[in-house]
Amino acid sequence: MLNLREISKTYTGTRSLTDVSFAVPENSITGIIGPNGAGKSTLLKIIAGFEHPDSGEMLFRGTPLSAFDDIKRLVSYMPEQLEIYPDYRVSEFLGFLHGTVGRADVGLLELLNLMSVRNKKIGHLSKGYRQRLKLYFSLCNDKRIVILDEPFDGFDPIQLQDILDMIRAENRKERTFIISIHQLHDAEKICTRYVLLKEGSLVAEGDMASLAERFGLEEPSLEQVFMEALL
């Protein structure tokens, strides 16, 4: 569905990504995995069209995506750092958002339990509910590709299971997810394939079976793959 070819990016003389190439299959949940400073957020910003690579190209079903307008029709993006109008009440922000999108996603609102905090100011929400609002912002549309940068911070184990179930439900609607996750056990619960980065370079990609075969692991876990590939 989406192909990245030799994507490179440098900031003020420091190389963030070097010739990164991989494919994102349609309807997959692809985890972008790597230590701090591996280039994960930079890569997601480029896929989302908020950064331009210094070199390389991105293709959607074989057609180059050459402009932000091309990308924004396809991609919904939730950055790791996103402050949503802290003085607005949740209901006010949702009203603005629904006016922009053209509809409310009642089912998604119920799944995220956002109506229970509709009268609260966003700045007074717990971290978990701010994350829920960010997720709703990213998902209450018809975009085929959803990019989430560290979406699971702020959830306890029970809340996290609800969020994972929600993403699986959206994935069953033929939405493709690309997710940066630093907690390996969370990534293993939700992702169908992985892209592993180290110091801005791709070191491995594929589903767990192909990664296990590559690194000779008989009973693989993502942590074992991470240790083999990145350390």
DSSP SS3 for 75: strand
Task: Read off the pLDDT band of 102 (50, 70, 90).
Answer: confident
> Token digits for 89?
């009440």
For residue 15, with 0-12 CB atoms within 10 Å meaning exposed, 13-18 middle and 19 or more buried, which class applies? middle
Q: Which of the residue ranges 74-78, 103-107, 164-168, 218-222 would you say has the lowest mean pLDDT?
A: 218-222
Percent of the chain whose predicted confidence (pLDDT) is above 70: 98
Contacts of 33 (CB under 8 A, 6+ apart): 40, 181, 184, 187, 194, 195, 196, 197, 222, 226
Residue 229 burial (CB count, 10 A): 19
Sign of CA dihedral 218, 223, 224, 229: positive
pTM of the model: 0.92
Is residue 70 pLDDT above 90, yes or no? no
Q: Which stretch of DSSP H or E encloses residue 132? A: helix 127-139
Task: In whole angstroms, give the CA distance from residue 148 to residue 179.
Answer: 5
Domains and CATH numbers, the chain: 2-82+142-230 (3.40.50.300)
What pLDDT, on a 0 to 100 scale, did the predictor assign at position 36?
Answer: 87
Q: Which of the residue ranges 42-46, 67-71, 163-167 would you say has the lowest mean pLDDT?
A: 67-71
